[in-house]
C-alpha cells in the first residue's frame, strides 16, 4: 500500500485511507501523540466523572421522604422533581452535541459548565422550600448540568475506541449507576431533617470539584481518527479488536444527523429508548416505596436500591463486553427482555412477601434497567460513524426525556390508579414491546453480514 504522509498542524504525521464504500480512516497518529498520554485515561476519567454525578438520579429515591418532610412537599412533588431532572438531562444531549461538533464548546468546557450547574442544583435542593424554585434549580439546572457531563463522557469514549467501543462504553456508563451506592445508604440512614442542608451542600461541592478535576484532561480525537495499531481494513485475526469489528462492523460512512434520520433507524432507536428508559426510571423511582408498601423493612428497601444501582452499573459494563463478542443488537434485545421479565418478578415477590425473591428481582431489574443505555450509545456510532456521534446519539438519547415523564410523574399516577402490581405489569409489557421493535434495527448500508465485502482494497490519498 502506497502512503502519503503530511504533518498535522501539531507536527504529527498521518495519512487517510478510503475503503471500497468511500469511508475515510485517518491513521498514523497514536493516542499519545495527540493527547500526551494513553487514551486509556479517556476511559477512567469519564468513568470517575460519571460516578460523581450518579447521585442525582440513582440516589434521589432514597432522599425523597426526608426532602418531603423538610420542605413540606408531597410525594407527587418529589416524583416530578426527578421527572423534570430526567427531561432536561436527556434533552440537552442533542444541543450539546451540536455545539461540540461545530467547535463552539470543547469537551473540557462542556463538563466544566456541567459541574457548576450540578453544584447549583444541590444548593437549590438544600435551601429552597418553594417547590417551583426547587424544580428550576434541581430539575432544570441540575438536569442540564448532568446531561452535559453525561453526553460528553459517553460520546468521547466512543470516539477514542472506535474499534472496540462496547466494553469501554459500558464501563464508563456503569459509573453513572453504582457511583451512587454510598449516597443511597447515606440518604437511608444518616440523612434527616436536622442535617439535610449540610449534607446536600457538601455533595454539591464534591460533584463540582470531582468533575472539574476529571474534565481538565478531556479532549476529542480528530475527525475520522483511527488507532494507529489497528488496521481498519485488514485487522489482525484472532484479536479482540478483529472479533469485535466482525460482529459489529464499522459504519459504512459518516452520516450527518439529517442522513441518519432518513435511514429510519434513529426513530426506531428513539422509540426503544422512550420505552426502556421509562421502565428503568419507574424502577428507580418506586422500588424503595414498593418495598415499604408490602411490609419489607428499611434495610431491605435500602439494600434493594443499592443492589439495583450496583448491578445496574456492572450490568452496563458486562453487556458492553458481551456485545463486542455476540453483537450489539443481540445483546440489546437480551437486555430489554430481561428488564421486562424482572418487572413481573417484582410483582411475584411482593405477592408472596418474599424478601429474598424481591432482592433477587431487584438484582435482575438493575441489570436490565441500565445495560441498554451503553448498547444504544455504541450502536449509534456503529450505524452512523463517529464524526457526528455527539449529535446523532443526542437524538437517540433524547428519548429518555419522554421516558422519564412516563416512568416518574406519570408512573405515580398509574400507581395511584392501578396500584403497584398494575403499574409493574404495565412496565413489563412495555419492555416486551420494545424488544419486538429492537428486532427491526439494522445497520444502514450493510443489512446482512453476507453483503459485507471481505477485506476491500484500501485507497490512499494525501492528508489535507
Q: Is the pTM of this model over 0.85?
A: no
Query: Where does the pLDDT of residue 454 fall: very low under 50, low under 70, confident under 90, or very high at 90 and above?
Result: very low
Instruction: Give me 160's grid cell.
Output: 477514542
Question: What is the reported pLDDT for 462?
Answer: 43
Tens digit of each residue's pLDDT (9 = 90 or more) over 321-334: 899 889 999 999 99
Task: Report CA-CA distances (Å) from 29 to 123, 156, 238, 240, 272.
Answer: 44, 17, 24, 21, 37
Tens digit of each residue's pLDDT (9 = 90 or more) over 94-112: 898 889 888 889 999 999 9
- The Cα–Cα gap between 270 and 379 comes to 12
* Of 138-147, 257-266, 417-426, 447-456, minimum mean pLDDT range: 447-456
Query: Where does the pLDDT of residue 418 fall: very low under 50, low under 70, confident under 90, or very high at 90 and above?
Result: confident
- Secondary-structure class of domain 13-226+238-448 per CATH: mainly alpha
pLDDT higher for 228 or 32? 32
Question: What is the reported pLDDT for 298?
Answer: 63
Query: Where does the pLDDT of residue 133 fall: very low under 50, low under 70, confident under 90, or very high at 90 and above?
Result: very high
Per-residue pLDDT, averaged over 425-450, amounts to 86
C-alpha of 347 from chain center: 27
* Of 100-114, 242-256, 290-304, minimum mean pLDDT range: 290-304
Contact 270, 262 (CB under 8 A): no
* Helix orientation angle between 60-71 and 265-293, rounded to the nearest 10 degrees: 60
- The Cα–Cα gap between 380 and 395 comes to 10
Question: What is the reported pLDDT for 358?
Answer: 81
Answer yes or no: is pLDDT of 138 > 90. yes
pLDDT higher for 164 or 244? 164
Question: What is the reported pLDDT for 452?
Answer: 43
Parallel, antiparallel, or unpaired for β 13-18 and 24-27?
antiparallel
Per-residue pLDDT, averaged over 5-10, amounts to 50
Tens digit of each residue's pLDDT (9 = 90 or more) over 344-384: 998 898 888 887 888 888 778 878 888 888 899 999 999 99
Amino acid at each position: 500500500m502506497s502512503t502519503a504522509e503530511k504533518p498535522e498542524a501539531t507536527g504529527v504525521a498521518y495519512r487517510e485511507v478510503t475503503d471500497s464504500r468511500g469511508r475515510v480512516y485517518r491513521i498514523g497518529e497514536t493516542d499519545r501523540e495527540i493527547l500526551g498520554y494513553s487514551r486509556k485515561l479517556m476511559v477512567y476519567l469519564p468513568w470517575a466523572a460519571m460516578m460523581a454525578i450518579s447521585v442525582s438520579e440513582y440516589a434521589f429515591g432514597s432522599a425523597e421522604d426526608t426532602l418531603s418532610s423538610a420542605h413540606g412537599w408531597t410525594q407527587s412533588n418529589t416524583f416530578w422533581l426527578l421527572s423534570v431532572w430526567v427531561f432536561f438531562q436527556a434533552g440537552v444531549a442533542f444541543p450539546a452535541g451540536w455545539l461540540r461538533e461545530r467547535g463552539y464548546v470543547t469537551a473540557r468546557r462542556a463538563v466544566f459548565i456541567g459541574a457548576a450547574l450540578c453544584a447549583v442544583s444541590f444548593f437549590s435542593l438544600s435551601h429552597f422550600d418553594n417547590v417551583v424554585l426547587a424544580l428550576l434549580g434541581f430539575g432544570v439546572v441540575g438536569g442540564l448540568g448532568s446531561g452535559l457531563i453525561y453526553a460528553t463522557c459517553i460520546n468521547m469514549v466512543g470516539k477514542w475506541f472506535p474499534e472496540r467501543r462496547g466494553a469501554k462504553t459500558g464501563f464508563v456508563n456503569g459509573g453513572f449507576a453504582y457511583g451512587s451506592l454510598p449516597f443511597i445508604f447515606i440518604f437511608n440512614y444518616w440523612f434527616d431533617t436536622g442535617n439535610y442542608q449540610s449534607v446536600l451542600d457538601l455533595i454539591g461541592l464534591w460533584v463540582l470539584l470531582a468533575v472539574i478535576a476529571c474534565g481538565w484532561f478531556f479532549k476529542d480525537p480528530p475527525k475520522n481518527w483511527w488507532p494507529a495499531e489497528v488496521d481498519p481494513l485488514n485487522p489482525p485475526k484472532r484479536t479482540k479488536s478483529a472479533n469485535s469489528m466482525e460482529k459489529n462492523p464499522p459504519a459504512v460512512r459518516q452520516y450527518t444527523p439529517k442522513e441518519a434520520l432518513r435511514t429510519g433507524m434513529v426513530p426506531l432507536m428513539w422509540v426503544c429508548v422512550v420505552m426502556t428508559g421509562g421502565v428503568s426510571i419507574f424502577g428507580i423511582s418506586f422500588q424503595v416505596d414498593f418495598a415499604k408498601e408490602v411490609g419489607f423493612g428499611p434495610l431491605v428497601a435500602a439494600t434493594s436500591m443499592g443492589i439495583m444501582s450496583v448491578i445496574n452499573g456492572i450490568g452496563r459494563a458486562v453487556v458492553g463486553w458481551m456485545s463486542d463478542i455476540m453483537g450489539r443488537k443481540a445483546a440489546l434485545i437480551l437486555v430489554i427482555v430481561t428488564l421486562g421479565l424482572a418487572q413481573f418478578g417484582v410483582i411475584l415477590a411482593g405477592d408472596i412477601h418474599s424478601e429474598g425473591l424481591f432482592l433477587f428481582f431487584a438484582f435482575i431489574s438493575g441489570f436490565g434497567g441500565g445495560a441498554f443505555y451503553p448498547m444504544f450509545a455504541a450502536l449509534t456510532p456503529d450505524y452512523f460513524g463517529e464524526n457526528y456521534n455527539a449529535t446523532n446519539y443526542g437524538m437517540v438519547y433524547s428519548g429518555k426525556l419522554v421516558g422519564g415523564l412516563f416512568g416518574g410523574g406519570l408512573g405515580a399516577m398509574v400507581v395511584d390508579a392501578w396500584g403497584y402490581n398494575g403499574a409493574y405489569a404495565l412496565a413489563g409489557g412495555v419492555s416486551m414491546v420494545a424488544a419486538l421493535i429492537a428486532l427491526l434495527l439494522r445497520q444502514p448500508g450493510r443489512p446482512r453480514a453476507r453483503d459485507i465485502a471481505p477485506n476491500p482494497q484500501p485507497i490512499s490519498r494525501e492528508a489535507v
